[in-house]
């Protein structure tokens, strides 16, 4: 019998995290460990940490902070007692001076004593709640990536961090749009309610059919696009701020935590 | 010093109800006793009561039942210990066989031992919450009545009760529409979230500029109309069902209760 890092009572989240750590899974985490909170990750040198923390607080819909490590410690015990941010994501983007320099499946060799990790809420949590409530999500039905767009809306600048808000888009009938707003508003720590619906040009999106990430959306007659603040925003902002060093997840390759989405439902 | 029906520690709701009972106030109750729940009223003979109760349960967004009296008892102690449904509304509509036969300010002379009173939630509660949250409501700003429309949507028929859903309309910018959906969804016992937004023809409204009640709406560029199930629906349904006898409030002339709107906020 093979020895695994987790006990025989391991949760689905622990089992998948062990698979990822062992290099057995380097794909997107969509749909894995249903019910468990997945998170965006940002790793920065400590001398950028306080500024980034303040930026997150000032832009909480795009950057809802879930947990923060202490400098040099790769653990985030509040999200999983054995969690290791150097090894537990399927794919990392590594940035030097604001430009991506490599993509990795393990960043142990790059780890430094001055690095701080930030975990931010992710829309997978509210997507699970939408599906549970019977609200269909087109890109998931079609096995595609969610469409995201860089808007014309400035984030609240903090120190060296500034840039435009990135949004994700999901389209619904009016009745399902209302349900989607109701449901996502109850997850304020994972982006919450949308920031806009309807005319994309109102938020500086010139052409809804050409997202920055994701393929062409499939918006049908009678459907309305809804736009949520997106956890890709920090990556966009980091490209502007140009910290000497930074690591994030690759889009869709999230940190799977031991916490339940339900714990992040308000009221 | 004048003797009043209420004690020296009377609440704003009790003071206004005493004024109404004494005939000193026969106008709409909009904005009176802020924070206190106002309710729609339907009074029916007991042999129509069970069917109406089931109709309300089947159509809870339009007919959210708050309280029900016992036959012959004009009190609703759960809404106010001294409350008297025969005297405490500023204006009543009296129906015989489904047609309005008179308008009254006191129905004591019409009271019978077989009558049952139903109090239903009212949008004033969520309007107060919207205003408290800084979401402006155009018709209130302009001192007008809310626009209501008979839709093409059938209520769920129960026994002799059937008819079209009536909706109220409020128009907002996209950002405020999202806030309005968030906030009203937290008041499921006072109509809850809207049932539709956007194209009025989707719900069988031919011309948004000609509401059934209220004046022409003032919908500005970039604004979206939101439609809520409306407490006028039972009056429309009663016109179809043609009970031998029925009393309701006149539109806007509501029952002011001792309960707080906040008690009806969910979560």
CA distance B135 to chain A (A): 15
Q: Which of A194, A222, A266 sits opposite B178 (nearest CB)?
A: A194
Could you say which of B179, B193, B222 has the minimum Cβ distance to residue A202?
A: B222
Model confidence pLDDT, tens digit, residues A80-94: 999 999 999 999 999
**pLDDT band with cut points at 50, 70 and 90 for residue B10:** confident
In chain A, which residues have their Cβ closer than 8 Å to the Cβ of B196? Answer: 174-175, 178
Measured between CA atoms, how close is B125 to chain A, in angstroms? 18
pLDDT for the residue numbered A92: 97
Q: How far is B221 from chain A (nearest CA, A)?
A: 11
pLDDT for position A4:
46
Tell whether B136 is within 8 A of chain A (Cβ): no
**Residues of chain A contacting residue B194, judged by C-beta atoms under 8 Å apart:** 178
Least confident of A106-110, B114-118, B126-130: B126-130
Average pLDDT of chain A to the nearest whole number: 92
The pLDDT of residue A267 is 60
What is the percent of chain A with per-residue pLDDT over 70, rounded to a whole number? Answer: 97
How confident is the model at residue B6, as a pLDDT?
47
Q: Which domains does chain B have, with CATH numbers?
A: 12-123+243-264 (3.40.1640.10), 126-233 (3.30.2040.10)
Report residue B1's pLDDT band, with 50, 70 and 90 as the boundaries.
very low
Report the 3 state secondary structure along chain A.
Answer: CCCCCCCCCCCHHHHHHHHHHCCCCCCCCCCCCCCEEEEEEEEEEHHHHHHHHHHHHHCCCCCCEEEECCCCCCCCCCCCCCCCCCCCCCCEEEEECCEEEEEECCCHHHCCCCEEEEEECCCHHHHHHHHHCCCCCHHHHCCCCCEEEEEEEECCCECCECCEEEEEEEEEEHHHHHHHHHHHCCCHHHCCCCCEECCHHHHCCCCCCCCCECCCCCCCCCEEEEEEECCCHHHHHHHHHCCCEEEEECCCCCEEEEEEHHHHCCC
Measured between beta carbons, the chain A residues lying within 8 angstroms of B266 are 267
Q: Is the pLDDT of residue B5 over 80?
A: no
Which residues from chain B sit within 8 angstroms of residue A267, using beta carbons? 186, 266-267
Per-residue pLDDT at A47 exceeds 80: yes
Percent above pLDDT 70 for chain B: 97
> What pLDDT, in 10s, does the model give residues A109-137?
999 999 999 999 998 888 989 999 999 99
Residue B195: what pLDDT? 96
ipTM of the shown complex: 0.75
The residue that leads in pLDDT, A41 or B214, is A41
Stretch A160-174: mean pLDDT, rounded?
Answer: 96
The answer to whether the CB atoms of A182 and B193 lie below 8 A apart is yes
Q: Mean of the pLDDT values across residues B154-164?
A: 95
């Amino acid at each position: 019998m093979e020895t695994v890092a987790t006990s025989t009572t391991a949760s689905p989240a622990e089992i998948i995290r062990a698979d990822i750590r062992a290099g057995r899974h380097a794909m997107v985490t969509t749909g894995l460990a249903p019910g468990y909170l997945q998170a965006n990750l940002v790793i920065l040198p400590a001398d950028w940490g306080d500024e980034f923390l303040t930026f997150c607080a000032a832009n909480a819909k795009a950057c809802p902070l879930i947990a923060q490590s202490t400098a040099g410690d790769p653990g985030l015990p509040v999200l999983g007692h054995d969690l290791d941010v150097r090894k537990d994501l399927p794919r990392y983007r590594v940035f030097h001076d604001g430009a991506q320099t490599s993509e990795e499946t393990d960043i142990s060799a790059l780890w430094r004593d001055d690095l701080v990790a930030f975990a931010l809420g992710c829309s997978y949590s509210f997507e699970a709640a939408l599906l549970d409530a019977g609200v269909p999500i087109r890109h998931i039905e079609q096995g595609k990536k969610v469409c995201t767009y860089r808007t014309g809306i400035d984030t609240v600048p903090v120190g060296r961090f500034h840039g435009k808000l990135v949004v994700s888009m999901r389209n619904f009938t009016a009745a399902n749009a209302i349900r989607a707003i109701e449901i996502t508003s109850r997850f304020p720590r994972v982006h919450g309610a949308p920031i806009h619906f309807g005319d994309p040009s109102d938020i500086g999106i010139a052409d809804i059919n050409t997202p920055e990430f994701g393929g062409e959306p499939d918006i049908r007659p009678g459907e309305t696009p809804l736009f949520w603040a997106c956890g890709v925003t920090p990556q966009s902002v980091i490209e502007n701020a140009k910290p000497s060093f930074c690591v994030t997840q690759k889009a869709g390759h999230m940190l799977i935590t031991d916490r339940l989405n339900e714990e992040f439902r308000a009221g």
